[in-house]
Structure 1
Amino acid sequence: MSEAQAQRSAMPRLNEPAPEFDTKTTHGPRKLSDYKGKWLVLFSHPADFTPVCTTEFVAFSKAHPRFQAMNCELLGLSIDSNFAHIAWARSIEQNFGVKVPFPIIEDLSMKVAHAYGMIQPGASDTSAVRATFFIDPDSKLRAMVYYPMSNGRSIEEFLRLLEALQTSDKHGVATPEAWKAGEKVIVPPPQTQAAAEARKGEGYDYTDWYFSKKAL
């Protein structure tokens, strides 16, 4: 198996258990089981003391109460030491007036980064790309989002996606493009010809047998 194939085979997969970790962070030891019963957004950044990463940490920190209100915790990671993480968090507070309220994983060994496919050889062999993982209360991986090193993520989109995932789980529905809370959701398509023929009369916002919406 080539190195590239080994990297791909190590990639986590959606709707399967998220890779375990037991590691040092700026808030003390953390392991995946600590987050059982809650959602977790685990995200990596290329390096401390870099400008794009700083904007993301400021935005994640400001949004932290909104994530917590949705039973979700945040956990950062880069291939830097705890000392670097602490110094950077203090710098963010001093220069931007924002306190980083969530832990940051020290991953000098790159063990967690490799387990989650955060290292992309086409981008760098020594830094994690901007990878974001949504892990549900049962420790299953539900979504993965990758950004290049040069471009910052949208934390508002992550909040939107988290709410969409929780809505789908709670109500057994799907959500359309750019869906936001309060908008209509998509009813699962019928699975038999008879059910398809009956769909029009079921009281949904009907467009065709496979495309119907409803309000929650």
Structure 2
Amino acid sequence: METQQSQPAMPQLNCPAPEFTAKTTHGVKSLSDYRGKWLVLFAHPADFTPVCTTEFSAFATRADQFRELDTELLGLSIDSVHAHIAWTRSIKENFGVDIPFPIIADLSMEVAHAYGMIQPGASDTAAVRATFVIDPQGVLRAMVYYPMSNGRSVDEIVRLVKSLQTSDAHGVATPENWQPGEPVIVPPPATADEAEARQDQGYEYVDWYFCKKTL
């Protein structure tokens, strides 16, 4: 009887990110190399493709913004180091953009499978546009998947990192499209007595479960 091949387990939020050691355009890199910093690990389907070129250019032009957030960038596709190098040189020549971050060469698809970047409904041999935000302790904090046909918003990834860092630093949540300087959401009370007292605690009060404050 033919058995169906099991798919690798997907990574899970708020659990340790899958470990890896891989060749990159900046030498061998491991997840442990990024311990103590935030990391944005992002996959693209293939080198020398137009949508991926726009995304890599956008990540490169915002590299300083990520650096100010103590955040490193690390790309990945199922191409060789030589293909990555040739592509980044082409981006510099044709678009005037230097790619300052490493790109993993994942010909074995080991990292791509560990992170659930291979989606059989899209392709068995190319990674979808998956983005992973990993915190300084190596914990996976966010995952965003885009289809191959549509480029992701790098500005949104910058915003997401800022939101995560703010939530960690202040024990709060952030509303839709929150930007630094805007009010944040106070965690809801855990008991009936706390809910009764919430209105008099000096927050921007809408209801007992919905209150904001300015940091």
TM-score (norm 1): 0.97
Distance in 2, matches of 1:185 and 1:61, equals 29
Structure 1 equivalent of residue 189 of structure 2: 190
Distance in 1, matches of 2:85 and 2:9, equals 30
Structure 2 equivalent of residue 179 of structure 1: 178
Structure 1 equivalent of residue 95 of structure 2: 96
Shift of 1:10: 1.3
SS of equivalent residue, structure 1 residue 24: strand
Distance in 2, matches of 1:96 and 1:165, equals 32
Distance in 2, matches of 1:11 and 1:96, equals 36
Q: Which runs of 5+ in 2 are unaligned?
A: none
Distance in 2, matches of 1:44 and 1:10, equals 18
SS of equivalent residue, structure 1 residue 194: helix
Shift of 1:55: 0.1
SS of equivalent residue, structure 1 residue 74: strand
- 1:80-122 C-alpha deviation (Å, 9 max, x unpaired): 0000000000000000000000000000000000000000000
Structure 2 equivalent of residue 147 of structure 1: 146
Distance in 2, matches of 1:38 and 1:199, equals 36
Structure 2 equivalent of residue 201 of structure 1: 200
SS of equivalent residue, structure 2 residue 27: coil
Structure 2 equivalent of residue 61 of structure 1: 60
RMSD across aligned C-alpha pairs, in angstroms?
0.8
Shift of 1:2: 3.6
Distance in 2, matches of 1:211 and 1:150, equals 38
Structure 2 counterpart of 1:92, one-letter code: I
Structure 1 equivalent of residue 128 of structure 2: 129
Shift of 1:169: 0.2
SS of equivalent residue, structure 2 residue 62: helix
Structure 1 equivalent of residue 110 of structure 2: 111
Q: Alignment identity in percent?
A: 70
Q: Which runs of 5+ in 1 are unaligned?
A: none
